[in-house]
Amino acid sequence: MTVHNLYLFDRNGVCLHYSEWHRKKQAGISKEEEFKLMYGMLFSMRSFVGKMSPVDMKDGFLAFQTSKYKLHYYETPSGLKVVMNTDLGVGNIRDVLHQIYSNIYVEFVVKNPLCSMSEPIQSELFRTKLDGFIRGLPFFSARAG
């Protein structure tokens, strides 16, 4: 199993953090454009899923998959979005995405008064903790992508 990459977006669509581990194919556009494209898609997906649902939903948009990868989506009531791409073998990882929020983002960004909450995260501590957490996941493959 594999973790490809991870995006964190704030409630206004700012990409607070991006990191990748196994990504064979790049988008061929600037990262800035890629973040906008990704956020726009998530925003539309969220509203699409909300409008199309024939029943009341609790959690809304959770994930989608293609023939090659799976995108996992987690949004807090405060609008922080954790987006992780993995291979298809990875099941429901809501708790993992919640842990990234509660044990890493809240601990090392929110509780660091010198970290702005509306700009890309500069904290080296945050990056290190996040990278360590992802590499420790049971479905993180060390095989070079």
CA distances from 3 to 25, 46, 62 (A): 14, 23, 17
When the beta carbons of 54 and 113 are compared against another protein, the nearer one is 113
Q: How many Å separate Cα 76 from the centre of its chain?
A: 12
Q: Which two tokens stand for residue 113?
A: 């008064």
Residue 36 binds another protein (CB under 8 A): yes
Q: Is 5 helix (H, G, I), strand (E, B) or coil?
A: strand
Q: Which stretch binds another protein (CB under 8 A): 17-25, 35-43, 85-93, 129-137?
A: 35-43
Q: 19, 20, 92, 106: which one contacts another protein (CB under 8 A)?
A: 106
Q: Which stretch binds another protein (CB under 8 A): 85-93, 103-111, 122-130, 131-139?
A: 103-111
Q: Is 49 helix (H, G, I), strand (E, B) or coil?
A: helix
Shortest spacing between CB 112 and another protein, in angstroms: 10
Residue 58 binds another protein (CB under 8 A): yes
Locus of tokens 């998959």: 65
Window 71 to 100, contacts with another protein (CB under 8 A)? 76-80, 98
Cα-based torsion angle of the residue sequence 97, 103, 106, 109 in order, rounded to the nearest 10 degrees: -100
Shortest spacing between CB 138 and another protein, in angstroms: 22
When the beta carbons of 88 and 116 are compared against another protein, the nearer one is 116
Q: 19, 27, 40, 128: which one contacts another protein (CB under 8 A)?
A: 40
Helical ranges in the chain per DSSP H:
31-52, 94-99, 124-135
